[in-house]
């Protein structure tokens, strides 16, 4: 198994994002609010002359809101369907290699985590929840519409 994973912390939980889906890791300094945006959209930011839609991962998971008032926030930049998104995370830790394919989770999880989960993967630092980046970007309203 040669799949690389970006280890991040979201809402105090250490999880993995597929590294192939992540273009870069950045520090966001300024957020521009977007009126009438979905609740999990924190705003817009610029990166190298490119506009990023900024996703508050905690809101996407329905776990509260990230406090963005203190300035700089760490984020993973991803591209989906030609659009760039910055996923606000608590902490970006490391890149590790997956030692297994994702396995089903046999425990109860909060609804937000269940919606974005692709299963548990074994790594050199222990098992991690593999997060579906597209589901995180889509937010909770997709669940309600289904």
**Residue 36 located in a structural domain:** yes
Percent of the chain with pLDDT over 70: 93
**Residue 28 located in a structural domain:** yes
**What CATH number should be reported for the domain holding residue 23?**
2.40.50.180
Number of Cβ atoms within 10 Å of the Cβ of 77? 21
Nearest to residue 18, comparing CAs of 36, 1, 35, 41? 1
Q: Tell me the pLDDT band of 142, cut-offs 50, 70 and 90.
A: low
Q: Tell me the pLDDT band of 90, cut-offs 50, 70 and 90.
A: very high
* Residue 55 to residue 53: CA distance in whole angstroms: 6
Determine which of 27-41, 68-82, 107-121 has the lowest per-residue pLDDT on average.
68-82
Q: Tell me the pLDDT band of 52, cut-offs 50, 70 and 90.
A: very high
CA angle in degrees (0–180, nearest 5) for 76-63-115: 75
**Residue 67 located in a structural domain:** yes
Structural domain including 13 reads 4-140
| pLDDT, position 70 | 66
* Residue 76 to residue 88: CA distance in whole angstroms: 7
**Residue 146 located in a structural domain:** no
**Residue 145 located in a structural domain:** no
| pLDDT, position 141 | 72
């Amino acid at each position: 198994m040669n799949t690389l994973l970006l280890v991040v912390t979201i809402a105090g939980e250490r999880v993995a994002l597929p590294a192939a889906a992540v273009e870069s890791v950045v520090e966001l300094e300024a957020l521009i609010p977007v009126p009438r945006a979905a609740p999990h959209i924190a705003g817009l930011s610029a990166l190298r002359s490119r506009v990023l839609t900024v996703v508050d991962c905690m809101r996407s998971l329905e776990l509260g809101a990230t406090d963005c008032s203190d300035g700089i926030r760490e984020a993973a930049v991803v591209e989906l369907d030609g659009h760039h998104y910055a996923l606000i995370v608590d902490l970006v830790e490391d890149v590790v290699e997956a030692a297994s394919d994702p396995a089903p989770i046999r425990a109860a999880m909060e609804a937000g985590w269940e919606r974005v989960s692709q299963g548990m993967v074994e790594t050199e630092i222990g098992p991690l929840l593999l997060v579906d980046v597209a589901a995180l970007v889509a937010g909770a309203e997709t669940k309600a519409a289904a």
